[in-house]
Amino acid sequence: MKTSLKNLVLVLVSVGLSGCASAQVKLQDRQVGNGLSPCPAKPNCVVSEYSGEHYIAPISVGSDVANMWRRVGLALAKMDRTQIVEQQSDYIRAEVKTLSGLFIDDFELRLDAAKQELHLRSASRLGYYDFGVNRRRVERFRELLTAVE
């Protein structure tokens, strides 16, 4: 019985990591004002700037854009295992370590001041399925953003 359990675990890990070319993801080079990258054709990503199965709604920021950007930083600071690695006047990219600490996911935020929207993208770097982790991460961020003043 133990051997079959080990085989099952190996199969699940293999399937989860299939299609991975590298542990590093080269995110699209971006300039201030450009949009977030679309999700790959894998169900381990959500993004607010593209419709379809990966879509998640952006966050309305209202007219006080400077205050919203400050609150974004406070909310990110409250997220477990999350570190900001790039910040521009309208963009933040953070890396989120998975619970196991073995993998890193990307969490991106882009402020569209003209439309008063905060766009989000959360994606696993490795694997195929994420079992809803990225969608839950965005929803948790929404909760934290609402709670900070």
SS (H, E, C) 84-103: EEEECCCEEEEEEECCCCCC
Closest CA to 124 of 145, 110, 138: 138
The whole-number pLDDT of residue 12 equals 46
Structural domains present in the chain:
39-147 (3.30.310.80)
Instruction: Say what the pTM is.
Output: 0.77
Residue 91 CA to residue 94 CA, distance in Å, equals: 10
What average pLDDT is seen over the chain?
Answer: 82
Neighbours of 63 (CB within 10 A): 8
- SS3 at position 9: helix
Q: Is the pLDDT of residue 123 over 60?
A: yes
Give, in order, the Cα–Cα distances in Å from 127 to each of 44, 45, 99.
8, 11, 15
CB 27 within 8 A of CB 93: yes
Residue 23 pLDDT grade (very low, low, confident, very high; cuts 50, 70, 90): very low
Residue 128 CA to residue 124 CA, distance in Å, equals: 8
Residue 144 CA to residue 141 CA, distance in Å, equals: 5
Residue 4 pLDDT grade (very low, low, confident, very high; cuts 50, 70, 90): low
The whole-number pLDDT of residue 33 equals 55
Query: What number is the average pLDDT over the span 70-94?
Result: 95
Burial 82-99 (b: 16+ CB within 10 A, else e): beeeeeeebbbbbebebe
Residue 65 pLDDT grade (very low, low, confident, very high; cuts 50, 70, 90): confident
The whole-number pLDDT of residue 3 equals 54
